[in-house]
Amino acid sequence: MAPRPFSDKSYSPYWQNRKAFLGQWRRGGANAVVDAPVDCNGQALRHFFKGGSGFAFSAGAAQHVCYPVIGLLYFLVGKGIPIAIIENAVKKRLQQGAIAASFNISRLRTVEIPQIAKACGFHWVFVDLEHSTMDLDLAGQICAASLPTGITSIVRVPEGDVTRATRVLDAGAQGVIFPHVDTAEEARAFVSACRFPPSGTRSLIYGGPQLEYETLPPDDVMAGLNAETLLVMMIETPKALENVAEIAAVDGVDILLVGGSDLSATMGIAGQFQNPDFVDAIGKVIAAAQGAGKWPGLGGIYDEAIMAGFLDAGMRFVLGGADLSFILAGGKSRGAFFNNHKLP
């Protein structure tokens, strides 16, 4: 169920009358008075501000005062979700047709990772619980720490592990990657576990980090988080290739991610990323994803010359490289400088 637009008068009174407010704000300037039927106990306003001066709102006999910037906020967030639900920046990039590249966590174990990723120019953090010893608690802390930075944290869970998947989503992840998805039936089960009703069976949460610790109406929580959560199915075997169109067609799947290393290995051409058979397989995944209105993705290929061709072919959601490889590349370069420098 998609979140209802703000203009829908059946929507929660917390989010009504954006247009009326903006019109008053434009016309009335710094002291505009808005007579909008927000709820009289002030809960609507509590989600947006903590006091101040500038605009006066009236709701019956109740008077509320807020920051002038609230008019702009109402305008900017009129996208169908409450402002308290943090936007998935990677989903927005993909909707705009842009590349979304990850900073992969391999060895680092710190909540500073999202800030480091942002400083490097990456768009999301790939938290890998399939091929690392990272525990669930630290993964959750990294996900929560990413939310204020605008860097999206997406977690790869071990094969078929819906329990870890839902727990990291509760902790602050904005997406989950499921490896080794071979059939549409598997994809449907993973979607059901990670989507709230009516799209799935995920247990309802209240006041978590993606909600900025606010208590919102249950329908708003479920619709908003369903909209801001990315579910990624990895295509890593010939069987998955055979079923890729059916997997892509599953409602609630957002991205098909090719695991380049495993797919090439199971095809009998390990690491041969320019082999015509592998290139054809990539094309088949791109076509299936785009044909179903989903986004195609690619991981395991880090040669920039090869990667560029797949990006041009339509790949948009990509694994950008791991912390260890970046450390080794930078460290080796600096080490070579010292070892090769000729003293006078």
Q: Look at strands 62-66 and 55-59 and give their pairing.
A: antiparallel
Tokens standing for 236?
């890593």
* Cα separations in angstroms, 341 against 87, 329, 332, 336: 49, 18, 14, 8
- Residue 299 φ/ψ, nearest 5 degrees: -135, 165
Q: Specify the length of the chain in residues.
A: 344
Q: Where are the beta strands (DSSP E) in the chain?
A: 33-35, 55-59, 62-66, 100-105, 124-128, 152-156, 175-178, 230-235, 255-259, 295-299, 317-322
**Which of 286, 277, 196 has its CA nearest to residue 248?**
286
47 is catalytic: no
DSSP state of 176: E
Q: Which of 47, 131, 180, 341 is catalytic?
A: 131
Q: State the Cα–Cα distance between residues 6 and 9, nearest whole angstrom.
A: 8
Give yes or no for a contact between 177 and 169, defined as CB atoms under 8 angstroms apart: no
Q: Which residues contact 109 (CB under 8 A, 6 or more apart)?
A: 134, 138
Burial group, residue 40, by CB count within 10 angstroms (0-12, 13-18, 19+):
middle
DSSP state of 279: H
**Which of 1, 3, 96, 106 has its CA nearest to residue 317?**
96
- Residues labelled catalytic: 131
